[in-house]
């Protein structure tokens, strides 16, 4: 996808040069390239998805598409050294820095079921007290056949303390199934 965006951007820049140089048009050669930048902004916006009201995905892909368009424009206008430097920076960022960030922000998921005959708000408050502020709690249909339960998915970003969190949550009255 990014290669296609780069090729299309380069062709847009080359077309602007062609129109001005070959056809002796007096139009602004940057006008077509400006439309690529705004158009890619709309394409990138379509890649950004918000999940569960707080988890955003696709932002890096959208930014990569926009940077690829700029590299394509630079290639089209003959600014090869700038395009090469930008490409190396983009590849380094997406290939290496993303891995470092993923290792730093690993998360794990817990599934529990809560007894609905107990006070669910008290139980959820106790669970929230055991978690960091970035934890996500999502209510779902129960997976088990236990009557009067509700399923809860808990996404915890700090996996180093997951056993400690399990032990604390296990001690809460009203937790039925793990």
Q: How confident is the model at residue 176 (pLDDT cuts 50, 70, 90)?
A: low
- Give residue-wise pLDDT tens across range 97-156: 777 776 666 677 788 888 887 877 888 888 777 777 777 788 888 888 778 888 888 877
Check whether 28 has a pLDDT greater than 60. Answer: yes
pLDDT at 178: 61
**In terms of DSSP bridges, do strands 49-51 and 55-57 run parallel, antiparallel, or are they unpaired?**
antiparallel
| Residue reference for tokens 């949550």 | 169
Rounded CA-CA distance 52/35 in Å is: 33
> Of 49-53, 73-77, 113-117, 170-174, where does mean pLDDT reach its minimum?
49-53
Q: What is the pLDDT of residue 33?
A: 82
The residues facing 50 across adjacent strands are 56
φ, ψ at 3 (rounded to 5°): -65, -45
Residue 38 pLDDT class (50, 70, 90 cuts): confident
pLDDT recorded at residue 153 = 83
In 10 A of CB 119, how many CB atoms? 13
pLDDT digits (tens, 9 = 90+) for 40-71: 878 777 877 777 666 677 877 888 888 888 89
- 152, 139 contact by CB (below 8 A): yes
């Amino acid at each position: 996808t990014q290669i296609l965006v780069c090729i299309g951007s380069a062709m847009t820049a080359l077309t602007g040069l062609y129109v001005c140089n070959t056809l002796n048009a007096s139009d602004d050669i940057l006008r077509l390239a400006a439309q690529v930048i705004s158009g890619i902004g709309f394409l990138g916006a379509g890649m950004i998805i918000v999940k569960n009201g707080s988890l955003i995905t696709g932002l890096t892909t959208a930014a990569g598409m926009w940077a690829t368009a700029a590299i394509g424009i630079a290639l089209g206008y003959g600014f090869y050294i700038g395009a090469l430097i930008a490409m190396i920076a983009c590849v380094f960022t997406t290939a290496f820095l993303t891995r470092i960030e993923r290792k730093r922000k690993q998360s794990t998921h817990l599934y529990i079921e809560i007894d609905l005959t107990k006070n669910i708000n008290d139980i959820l408050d106790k669970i929230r007290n055991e978690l960091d502020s970035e934890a996500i709690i999502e209510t779902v249909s129960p997976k088990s056949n236990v009557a009067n339960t509700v399923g809860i998915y808990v996404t915890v970003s700090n996996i180093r303390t997951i056993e400690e969190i399990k032990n604390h949550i296990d001690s809460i009255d009203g937790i039925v199934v793990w």
